[in-house]
Amino acid sequence: MSRVTFSDITKRFPDGTLAISDFSLGIRDGELLVLLGPSGCGKSTLLRMLAGLEQPSSGELRIDDVVVNDLSPQQRNIAMVFQNYALYPHMSVRENLAFPLRMQRLPRRDIERRVREVAERLSLGELLDKHPRALSGGQRQRVAMGRALVREPKVFLMDEPLSNLDAELRLQIRQDSARLQRDTGVTTLYVTHDQVEAMTLGQRIVVLKQGVLQQLGTANELYAWPANTFVATFIGSPGMNIFQAPLQRDEQGYTFTIDGRTIALHVGAYSEESLSTFAGKILHVGIRPEALCLVAAGDEGVVDFSVKLSGLERLGHEVIVHFPAINRIADMQAEHCARLSHQDGLQIGDNISLSVAVKDLYLFDPNGCAIPRVS
Amino acid sequence: MHRKRLWNFVNYLLLSIAALLFIAPILFMVVGSFKPEAQVLSEMGTLRAVLPSEIKLHNYRDVFVRIPFGRYLWNSVLINGLIVGLGLIVNALAAYALARLQWRGRDTLLVVVLALLIIPFEAIAVPLFYQLSALGWRNDYLVQVFPFVANPLAIYLFYSFFLGLPRELEEAARVDGAGILRTFFAIVIPNAKPVFATVAIVTFLLYWGMYLWPLLMTVDDGVRPLPLAIATFYTLPPVQWGDILAFGVMMVLPVLVIFITFQPWFVRGVATTGLKG
Amino acid sequence: MKRVLMIKRTHVSEKTIAWLFMAPALLGLALFILAPFILAIVLSFTNVRLGSPLPVEWTGWREYARLMDDAAFLHALFNNLVFALVVVPVQTLLALGLALWLNRPLRGRVVFRTLFFMPVIFPLSLIAVVWILIYSPDANGLMNHVLRLMSLGHWQTKDFLHDPLWALPAIMLTSIWQGVGLQMVVLLAALQAIPAELYEAATIDGARAWQRFRHVSLPQLRNALVFVVIVTTILAFRVFDQVRIMTQGGPEDHSATVVFAAVQAAFDRAQVAKGMAMSVVFFLLVLAITLVQRKLLKQTRD
């Protein structure tokens, strides 16, 4: 049971690339925290620094109150599940499970007992005398989990542990892993690029981009209050539509213009001072694809657009429609989309009207940072 | 269908004839080693040269009587055993340091080792002979062993193998609590058996036939290996070709056994490195 | 009083372990490759001779200048060139032919491959001795006999290894026989690494057997061929054992090679500086060939 603290961690590789810059994070005792980000964002580097496989260039790493920067991996008492499991091919499952305990020089009796316990817990009993090459992907994954569990570590590190499994197995093992973590209560750092995995497993989630922390929060927080346009477009499937609109100020309050229509912002939804700095500037406005619907225009508090469909993905219970981006921002989405409940008649090339409630609009400043709402 | 089968048969026939012609010198050696002396030369122009009529072992006995063959064999076995055994240890350790450990000077030394790869032994045989003679080091076993223990080619073979091992295995071991030494001996080595086998077999075959170096460095029969012995044996009067061929058969037998036993490893080793001096 | 025992495991740093791992190999390479290599270069600029009463002096390029005038050395160099020019193409074509022949659906391929490869594992000294017998000047000598049969009796018995015209070709034939299996194995491995889909695609595109060889096999084999040609060329310059045993370079240097000349100078005649200079020239030749290989191999990567 341990806390983990990253303080101002920076990692620069010998070739000069900056993998992590100024990263700070506290993981609570017994928490399962997920590091989420696209490939190459530095999430694995963070994990490997905590494991002791990489050295931070600057900053401090603590497990509980001990600074571990200068400790070798074997002195940190952590366990890790690798993406490809890294089971020792020349050892049986039993020997694989016993290896971390042998390294601790535990008496043979204790080793046998703990291997047996873990094997039972993960139903590995019948596999104990097999070699890794004789196991299926799911079995290997379980052995890797067992090898991490058996030593009762302070911290559990998981590097995309499900990415080598097929979809069905992934779902099942995801649930098993979550239960296992709850039962054992070991502080866990879990790295993935899969947002569904992150949202379902993580008590809290860190979104990382190019080595910089974007947002820390629960799944709901990330979805409902994304801190910037990166998180907004990364979370959700598909991600949020972002377009640009100039913010104006008139007697009634603030308005902006989309697709030739002027929309008034709810009075009181945003604080005066947060909006006043951006008056006359171009804001980024976001709409979740699921907030759009096919509704007759004219209702109060609703904005509507006419779009021409450029693509259709039918999923049975719903359909995702694509259309050229409205008020496109250079270097961002060329297409926007909407998730509509099942529609039969739609065809590519159709002109349709989509509407969204004003309260479902997200506002971001020209740099992409969310403008906080008052509520 | 019929034509295809005929074609197949002809193909096999031609291939077999070619192969037989090709190994005729070897057959000739083996068959000749069992013949009475007078027939070795006189039957050379006939089919009898490669077809045994009777098997007599007296040539083999003669080899042991006329020269200390056992001694030469032992010398060769000892020298090669030491080169291979010590070489495996020394080169594997160095290759691991170059492939996986973090230390300053690693990249430079890697370049140096790879550069040494292009210096053929023939280019340094003469200066090395002079260098060691000046130190008064000649004519023993170790002078035939030590120059070949550290071997850039072996280091290179080990190095590329270690680079290809999944790094996560070693990282998992480190996280599981093993130190660098333990990781190397308990995790890396057990998973590197193929490369150890390849390097062992290739170095053994390379040095089993080594002639130039012992020619320069040895004078006593007590330390001379087989290749040198056969080169002097065939000039030993009276010239007995039957004995010489028997010597040859016994000399090549150990290599042949190793070669046929370890065919797959060996062919892989040769195909990837193309070596043989 | 309770004594608190602090058990501290001594921790050896990664750097220390790395140097310990490197040390034996480094020592060996420095002592037995680097040192003689440097020694050769240094001594080749002196007049050092074993057992000579003259003081050792720097003589600059004198040794090299002498080599350029040394008929025996130039002859050896010329022999190496002839050796390479004949053996490399003949052996490569033969090996390519054998590899293509064995690269068909064929039961017992491993057996044939083993047979053709067999001479490669034979010690050269043994091969040299066996071929001395094959080249025997006796009328019954195998080579003489075969040639007489093939020429329908017109062939005059020859003493190949003591004939100025025939000594070098005799050694070349022995070398080709000994080495062709090695190249064949390398080429066969390269051929088998070509994905079958390429041939299938070419067949569908209407390529006939020759066109498939020309446009699929050959380009895919390029690197292996370059490799094989270069290795064989280097081997052609390294020839020593056969020469020493079969002809002693004779008659009158007609079959001497550079390595043979270097050993003869330094070892048999105690002309150390001369032997060193020859070794350096030999190394430069090999280096040049290696650089050509690097260049050729790089081109395909681009």
Report pLDDT for B277: 34
- Whether the link from the prior residue into B238 is cis, omega within 30° of 0, is yes
- Answer yes or no: do B255 and C122 touch at CB < 8 A: yes
Q: Sort out which chain B residues have CB atoms less than 8 A from C267's CB and list them.
A: 126, 129, 216
**Chain B nearest C-alpha distance from C2 (Å):** 30
In chain B, the residue whose alpha carbon lies closest to the alpha carbon of A55 is B102
Report pLDDT for C1: 37
In chain B, the residue whose alpha carbon lies closest to the alpha carbon of A47 is B175
Report pLDDT for A244: 86
Nearest to B231 among C125, C278, C279 (CB): C125
- B238–A contact, CB cutoff 8 A: no
pLDDT in tens, B68-126: 999 999 999 999 999 999 999 999 999 999 999 989 999 999 999 989 988 999 989 98
- Answer yes or no: do B209 and C125 touch at CB < 8 A: yes
pLDDT above 90 for B181: yes
Q: Which of A186-190, B259-263, C49-53, C113-117 has the weakest average pLDDT?
A: C49-53
Report pLDDT for C138: 80
- A13–B contact, CB cutoff 8 A: no
Q: Which residues of chain C have pLDDT under 70?
A: 1-11, 299-302
Q: Sort out which chain A residues have CB atoms less than 8 A from B171's CB and list them.
A: 48, 51, 53, 73, 80, 82, 86
Chains in contact with chain C (at least 3 beta-carbon pairs closer than 8 A):
B
Taking residues A167-192, report their average pLDDT. Answer: 89
- B179–A contact, CB cutoff 8 A: yes
| Confidence label for B275 from pLDDT (cuts 50, 70 and 90) | very low
pLDDT in tens, A318-338: 899 999 888 777 778 888 999
Q: Which of residues 123-152 of A touch B (CB under 8 A)?
A: 147, 151
Q: From CA B95, how far away is CA B158, in angstroms rounded?
A: 6
**Chain B nearest C-alpha distance from A72 (Å):** 8
Nearest to B175 among A79, A88, A89 (CB): A79
Taking residues A193-204, report their average pLDDT. Answer: 92
Report pLDDT for A135: 93
Q: Sort out which chain B residues have CB atoms less than 8 A from C31's CB and list them.
A: 146
Q: What is the pTM of this model?
A: 0.87
Taking residues A81-103, report their average pLDDT. Answer: 93
**Chain B nearest C-alpha distance from C202 (Å):** 23
Report pLDDT for A299: 64
- A79–B contact, CB cutoff 8 A: yes
In chain A, the residue whose alpha carbon lies closest to the alpha carbon of B169 is A86
- Answer yes or no: do B172 and A88 touch at CB < 8 A: yes
Token match 């008496």: residue? Answer: A107
pLDDT above 90 for B147: yes
ipTM of the complex: 0.89
**Chain C nearest C-alpha distance from B4 (Å):** 13
**Chain A nearest C-alpha distance from B175 (Å):** 5
pLDDT above 60 for A277: yes
Q: From CA A129, how far away is CA A119, in angstroms rounded?
A: 12
**8 A C-beta contact, residue B139 and residue B213:** no
What strands, in cross-sheet order, belong to the sheet with A254-258?
A: A261-264, A254-258, A241-249, A282-287, A362-364
Q: Which of A16-25, A225-234, C24-33, C207-216 has the weakest average pLDDT?
A: C207-216
Q: Sort out which chain C residues have CB atoms less than 8 A from B89's CB and list them.
A: 24
Q: Sort out which chain A residues have CB atoms less than 8 A from B178's CB and list them.
A: 74, 99, 103
Mutation to test the B interface, candidates A49, A53, A55, most B Cβ within 10 Å: A53
- B66–A contact, CB cutoff 8 A: no
Q: Please give, one letter per residue, the 3-state secondary structure of chain B.
A: CHHHHHHHHHHHHHHHHHHHHHCHHHHHHHHHCCCCHHHHHHCCCCHHHCCCCCCCCHHHHHHHHHCCHHHHHHHHHHHHHHHHHHHHHHHHHHHHHHHCCCCCCHHHHHHHHHHHCCCCHHHHHHHHHHHHHHCCCCCCCHHHHHHHCCCHHHHHHHHHHHHHCCHHHHHHHHHCCCCHHHHHHHHHHHHCHHHHHHHHHHHHHHHHCCCHHHHHHCCCCCCCCHHHHHHHHCCCCCCCHHHHHHHHHHHHHHHHHHHHHCHHHHHHHHHHHCCCC
| Beta strands A241-249 and A254-258, pairing class | antiparallel
- Whether the link from the prior residue into A100 is cis, omega within 30° of 0, is no
**What is the secondary structure of A306-344 as a DSSP string?**
EEE--EEEE-SSEEEEEEEPTTPPTTS-SEEEEEEE--S
Nearest to A99 among B168, B176, B179 (CB): B176
Rounded to a whole number of angstroms, the distance between the first and last alpha carbons of chain C is 76
- Answer yes or no: do B175 and A51 touch at CB < 8 A: yes
- B172–A contact, CB cutoff 8 A: yes
Q: Sort out which chain B residues have CB atoms less than 8 A from A79's CB and list them.
A: 175-176
Nearest to C131 among B25, B122, B148 (CB): B25
Taking residues A3-13, report their average pLDDT. Answer: 94
Q: Sort out which chain B residues have CB atoms less than 8 A from A99's CB and list them.
A: 173, 176, 178
Report pLDDT for A269: 76
pLDDT above 90 for A56: yes
Report pLDDT for B267: 67
